[in-house]
Structures are given as structure tokens and as C-alpha cells.
Structure 1
Amino acid sequence: MHDATPESVRRRARTHRARLLSTLRVQYPDVLAERGYRLLHPETGDRYTGVQRHLVATCRSVANFAAGALADGPDWCGSAAEHGLAFLREAHRGDDGGYHLVVEEDGTPVDRTRSAYGHAFVLLAYARTADAGVDGARDGLAETHALIDERFRDGSGLLRSDCDEDWVELAAYRGQNANMHACEAYVAAYEATGDETYLERARHVAESIAFDLAAETNGLLWEHYTADWEHDFAYNADRPRHQFRPPGYQPGHHAEWAKFLALLDRYDDPDASTAIGPGDGWYARGLDLFDAAVEHGWSENGFVYTHEADGSVLVPDRYGWALAEAIGASAALAERAVARGDAEAAERLRRWHRRFIVRTDLFRGPAGVWYEKRLPPDANGDLVAAEPPGVEPDYHPASAYFEGWRSARGELAGRDA
């Protein structure tokens, strides 16, 4: 139980804050271009060639630097977040208020897709910068929330799929991934504003995806659905290595949802009508999903990408983001375990947390930036960097360290209460 003393918790908080800021120091100032950001190669540290900017990469970098500001990092954390937010508003944002998926540095649209996944990250970027006190971010947050409600929220209260520039859906598809990140963004928006509307949105998405729909797949989270939110088990069956929409179950997303359910438990009142299940529903379900991720996906050098319902591996590639999400999930759930007096679970989660942290060296390149993934041992475990324009791989470790920092602080605050 050496990791449970007040001094050890303080040390954990300091360590995670240092990890967050060191991740940002790798990025700053090289990642800043004249307008927006440029991704860095994990081996050389050089900027990727080309000037195209991906919406998700822009938003993730904004959120990263805003997290640094929230952790009382150097002043450049706030200025770097402002730099990216200006590009988000001036280059990615179209005349109709929607955001182009890919643009040139001068703002010329390359891909005008109105991505549901991308707009969830737009909401997150505004939420984090609003929380950090960046000028104009609160207005952008409110506008984006209204846009998502009008353009993406369907009759079930969940996000529909990607649209063209005229807001016509490109396919009769629904995905849990875009909705999961919408839940993340809604929680962050609540943290920034205290507005219960955002928390209610997050609760609804989480209950629908992680409880109701998962009940039809024995508690596991399927990724793909029809326009009527029926499970589409045949979706992309012939594209097992699809980067964003592979078939099968993803352990990384189970860990990611476990983290978000821990956050909902943090902000929920177990005696209120919004509570899920018998008192500890968010927390208990978060533990279930974390355990499922470990049971079906952990391979000692990362998490496998996808697996079948019986746990048999579909794609053994190990993505760095999945390891990072497990770091954040174990930290957040351990904090909630302490808050609920569940000492056994807290210690088990801390052990997993330490185990995950040790494995981060397997994904971090010589330049300090994370590679996108490692291939399995039978492919020599080769490391693979993101392809430009990329979607910013260091968002996940930065988020994990940010959550580790504030979870430790939350545990200390609970002890002092």
C-alpha cells in the first residue's frame, strides 16, 4: 500500500504534472507554425513536410496546451493554445459555422467534410480553453454546442454521422467513437462553465452507449451502428486495419470509456435522479470496462487493436493511444475507488497504473513524440509514425498525465475534506 500515503499521492500529482509539461515542452515551440500547428516526427523531431492541417490535430493541440495552462504550466502554454484557437476560428471554420476537416495553412479547404468526430474535438478545444480563461473561448463553446445540437444531434439525443458541406449525411451510419468524444467534450464543457446542460448531455451519451447498447453485446462496446442505432456487425468487415472504424471490439475504447465514466462519477450525486444504477453505477460500470480492456486486450507491450466477442485477437497491432487511455482510466478510477472507500480496487488500479507507465517507453520516439503504433512481435515490433496530415498522437499521453495529475489532487482533497 506504499502508493496510498498522502506523501506518495502528492508525489504522484507532481510526477504527472511534470510528465504533462515535458510532453508539451517537446512540442513547444517547434510545433507552432506561422498559422496553426505542424506535427513533429517521433524519430527526428522535424516538422512533417506539407502545410495541410487536420481539424482533429488542431483541436487536440489546442486542448493539450490549454491543459498545460490549467496545470499552472509556463505562460507559453496559454499563448500556444490561443495561437491554435485563432487558426481553428479563422481557417477551419466555414461561413456557415461548421468546420472543414482539412485545410491548407492559408485556410483554403482541402476536405470540406463536416465530421461529427471532428466537431466533438472542436467542442473540446473550446471547453479546455474556456476553462483556461482564453479570451473568446466561452463564446466559441456556446456556438459550437448550439451547432452540434442543430446539425449533429439526432432524435435519440446522440450524434449522427459525417456530412458534406451542405449538411447532407454522407452515409446512413452511426458510430460510438464520435459520441464517446462528444461525452468527453461535454464533461470538459461542464468543468469550464458549471452549466448542468453539458453534464446532462454527457450522461445521456454515456448511458446510451456504455449501458443500453452494450447490454445487447454482453457488456462489450461495439463501434458501428445503423442510422436507427441497430448494431451493424458487418461494417468494414473487410477492412480490419481501418485507422478509425475497424470491425471488432477495441480495448482502447473500453479503457477510454472507463475514464469518462469515472469523471461522471466524480461529478454525480449518487442520491440524485441522474445517478445510474444502484448508487455506484458509473463507477461500477467503469471498473467493468477497464477490466474488459485488460482481460481481452493487454499483451504486456500494449493493447491489441481489436478482438472478437470471445476475446480472440483480430488485429494485434498495439496503438499508443490505447496505452495512454489506460493510464488515465486507472488514475481516475483509483481516485473514485478511494472516494468510495474501495481500498482493494484502488490498490489494484494503482498496480495497473504503474505497469502501464513503465510501458510508455515502448511508444515514445527518440524525439520524445509518441509513435502511432507498434506492429506485433511477429512483424518485429516495428514502430509506425502517423501519416500526414495526422491527428496528433501526443493528445492521448498529454490527456493521461493531465488526468493523473488532477485525480491525485482530487484524492488529496478528499482526504482533507
Structure 2
Amino acid sequence: MSRPTSWLSTPAHARWLEAEGDRLLDFSRSSRHPAGGFAWLDTTGRPALERPVELWISCRMTHVFSLGHLMGRPGCGPLADHGVAALTGRFRDAAHGGWYAAVDADGPTGREKSAYPHAFVVLAAASATCAGRPGAAELLDEALEVLLTHFWDDEHGMVVEEWDETFSTLDPYRGVNANMHTVEAFLAAADATGDRSLLDRALRVVTRVVHDLGPAHDWRLPEHFDEQWTPLLDYNVDTPAHPFRPYGATIGHWLEWARLALHLRAALGSDAPDWMLDDAVALFDASVREGWAVDGADGFVYTVDWQGAPVVRERMHWVAAEATATAAALHAATGDPSYAAWYATWWDHLADVFIDHELGSWRHELDARNRPSGVVWNGKPDTYHAYQATLFPRLPLAPTLPAALRDGLLD
């Protein structure tokens, strides 16, 4: 009897992914914050109710629970509604528009408006719209209007980073991380609304970052820029382990950009530029060459310098999750069995050191010897990367996860 060529073609592996996804959803349910939104979870799954409630976490969990509802998991729809209510309520600035990055019992903890969480508002609203949740479509319309009116820089084909509360003063810093998640948001919103112009904007971002910056920097994508989009290669050199703006190049983002390029390529179809697959392959190869097991132990280092040497050696769960997703995407795009082999290698790694069968979810950060660490991240804030990793291998490259589940495309 012939054997399947890879886990990616094995129904039994798909069942394992589904079971792992359900385990992650069960862990996630305790994140529901009684005052609205979703709380940061500690290593045991206890909600840290003393912490401010973060917009990006609330959006990610609204997205996850929308996917759970689309998977037919009872109780996930009301949790998605809980997230939508927070986005139309306690996080929303009714006077000036947009959303505050964090709130506590007294209101917003800061007044700035940042592109990174606003991209996740769009993603959450798009997923909830695909899930048919009440008020989600109206939220998506508003979120897109804010993102395109205030953050989209049409001259450069990118989003700017941060405004003050009234959208009158713009910070000079520009960042690629917010743009990466804006591409993700545009893809999901295009599927939820049918507005294909969002794909054109996504292509402009991917072209600048992947096709222009990638080859120009040996695929070590710069993360930080000034207002003219000139790379700031020494940015945060004295705080290299910053959770959102680390010094150097971030290995996990190379994998995410590669995967997003493949999703966009599939969405564009015959209109996709020829370079998209080759550039995705180049980013993947660079992430393996400079990120995987480069310092004596399995795992992806967090960041490297501009010569490719490791800077922060901690291993992040989200990088390994993205590695499996990108390997699956490249296998779907090319049929090359080497990607299926990497896919299995990284799930073995996740099972060995990241998946926490005792306390639940995945350990979010390990040290260079794959022991639990908290240099960059403490606790288990959300299950966004992990849960998506259980779905990407089972769905086509296009449409996006919520639309694919809505359309009944799950194998």
C-alpha cells in the first residue's frame, strides 16, 4: 500500500490540527474580560484583569472566536459578539474617530492612535462579518474608512504609524510591522466586502517591502524608517528585545511576508506579478538559513543584525507557527516536497517544546536552550498565531481564512 507523500495530504493530520485548534479555543475562552474586550492571559490561562485591556489582543481574539464560530464551535459566536461590542464601545473614540490602543476602568491609558492595532480592528471586523455577527459589517465600514483616511499614505503606498488623538499631529516614525498586518487586513476585508481595490493597495505595500526592500538588503527586511521611508538600521540598537520595535531584522516577519505574498498572489490570479513566488521563496530560504537552529539548538532566533548574526536568541511561538503556515503555503503553491518536510520538522519542534499540555495553549517564549523565558513576552497573551496555524494547511491560499470557512472550503 502506498503511503501519503506528506502530512499535508493526510486526513489523520488534519484531524490532529482540528483537535489542537479546539484545545486552543478552550484555553482562549477565559480571556473574556468582564468589562469588555479580551484580557491578557498568564501562563496558566488566568486573565490578568489588573492589566489594561489591549486593543490588539481584543481584535485578535475577536478574529479567533469568529473563526471558531465559522468552524461550528458552540459559544464562539457570543464571544465574537463580545469583541465587536468592545470595538464599538469602550475602545472607540466617538469624538475624533478611531480606536484607543488600551483601556482600563478609567478609560484610555493613552491617547495616541496607532496603525498596528487599527489594522487588527479591520481584521476582526472582516472576520466577524464573514461569520455573520451583528454589527460587524458596520464596524468594518468604519474601520476601513479610518484606516484609509488617516493611515494610508498614497504617495508611498504604505501606512503611516501613529497620530495623536485628534489625527492632527503625525509621528515621524514609520514601521513595516503595521504595514504587514495592514496587508493581512486588506486581504480579509476584500473578501468580506468584495472591494477588490483593497488588493491593489496590498500589492503596493508588498511590492515596496518584499520586492524592493528584500533584494536591496539581502532579504533582511528593515523594520524601522523615517518619514521619507529611509531605513533606520540602528533603530533601538540599545533595546534589541523590544516586543514591537526590536533592533535588526525579525526572522518571523520574513516568513509572514512570504506567506502574505502567496495569499495575495492567489487572490490576484492572472494579474499577479511574476516575481511574487520567487520572492516568497527567497524570504523563506533566508529565514531558514539565518534563523533556524543557527546557534546550537533547534528553534528560530528572534532577530539578526545586518550581517545575519543572531541578536536576540529567544525563540517565539509565533515564529514557529508562521514557519509551519508558510511551508504549507509554499507547498500549495509549488508542490515541492521539501516544504512538506520543513512543515513536519517544525510541527515536531512545536510539539516538543512549545505546546503546553500541562497548563494549556503554547509557551509563548523560550530561551536559546528552549526553556521557558520571558525576555520579550510574559504569559500567553493570545492564541491568534497558534490557532491560525491549525487552519492554514487545511484551506486554500485564497480566499482568506474567514471567507474560506464561510464558503465551506475546509477539507
TM-score of the aligned structures, taking structure 1 as reference length: 0.87
Residue 62 (structure 1) shift: 0.5
What is the SS of the residue equivalent to 2:253?
Answer: helix
User: Is the Cα contact below 8 Å between 1:306 and 1:315 reproduced in 2?
Assistant: yes
**Per-residue deviation at 1:336?**
1.6
Contact 1:94 1:100 in 2 (8 A): yes
Structure 2: 5+ residue stretches without partners: 400-406
Residues of 1 paired with 2:342 and 2:169: CA distance?
41
CA distance in 2, matches of 1:7, 1:400: 13
Counterpart residue number, 1:348: 338
Partner of 1:131: 130
Matched-pair identity in %: 32
Aligned to 1:75, the other structure's residue is in SS state: coil
CA contact (8 A) 2:39 2:54 kept: no
Q: 1:311 to 1:32 in 2, by over 3 A?
A: same
Aligned partner of 2:403 in structure 1 is none
1:287 aligns with 2:281: yes
User: 1 CA distance for matches of 2:189 and 2:237?
Assistant: 35
Residues 136 and 348 of structure 1, relative CA distance in 2, 3 Å threshold? same
Counterpart AA for 2:82:
H
CA spacing shift, 1:348–1:165, aligned 2, 3 Å = same
* TM-aligned CA deviation for residue 51 of structure 1: 4.8
Q: CA RMSD in A?
A: 2.6
Shift of 1:260: 0.7
Normalised to the residue count of structure 2, the TM-score between the two structures is: 0.88
Deviation per residue, 1:143-177 (Å, 9 max, x gap):
11111111111221211111221224463111110
Asked whether the equivalents of residues 371 and 385 of structure 1 are also in contact (C-alpha less than 8 Å), the reply is no
Q: How far is the alpha carbon of 1:91 from its aligned partner?
A: 0.7
Q: Equivalent residue for 1:340?
A: none
Unpaired stretches in structure 1, ≥5 consecutive residues = 338-342
CA distance in 1, matches of 2:207, 2:141: 23
The answer to whether the Cα contact below 8 Å between 1:54 and 1:103 also exists between their aligned partners in 2 is yes
Q: What letter corresponds to residue 91 of structure 2 in structure 1?
A: H
What secondary structure sits across from 1:103 in the alignment? strand
Q: Would the alpha carbon gap of residues 3 and 229 (structure 1) be closer, same or farther in structure 2, given more than 3 Å must change?
A: farther
Q: 1:408 offset after TM fit, Å? A: 9.2
2:366 is matched with which residue: 359, 374, 385?
374
Equivalent residue, structure 2, for 1:118? 117
Is 1:396 matched with 2:397?
Answer: no
1:318 Cα deviation (Å)? Answer: 0.9
Query: Is residue 249–residue 307 contact of structure 1 (8 Å, CA) maintained in 2?
Result: yes
Structure 2 CA distance for aligned equivalents of residues 261 and 2 of structure 1? 32
Per-residue CA deviations over 1:206-246 (Å, capped at 9, x if unaligned) read: 11111122232133311111111111112111111111111
Aligned to 1:297: 291
Aligned residues: 392
State whether residues 262 and 276 of structure 2, in contact with CA within 8 Å, keep that contact through their aligned partners in structure 1. yes
Counterpart residue number, 1:327 = 324
Query: Are 2:100 and 2:112, in contact at CA under 8 Å, matched by a contact in 1?
Result: yes
Partner residue of 2:374? 384
Counterparts in 2 of 1:7 and 1:355: CA distance versus 1, 3 Å = closer
CA–CA distance in structure 2, aligned partners of residues 97 and 75 of structure 1: 33
Deviations 1:43-75 (A, max 9, x none): x332224152001010011011112223x2313
| Greater displacement, 30-39 / 202-211 | 30-39
Displacement of 1:268: 2.0
Matched-pair contact (CA < 8 Å) for 2:241–2:375: no
Aligned equivalents of 1:409 and 1:194: distance in 2?
13
1:32-111 alignment, distance < 5 Å: 32-34=32-34, 35-42=36-43, 44-70=44-70, 72-95=71-94, 96-104=96-104, 106=105, 108-111=107-110
Q: Which residue in 1 is equivalent to 2:402? A: none
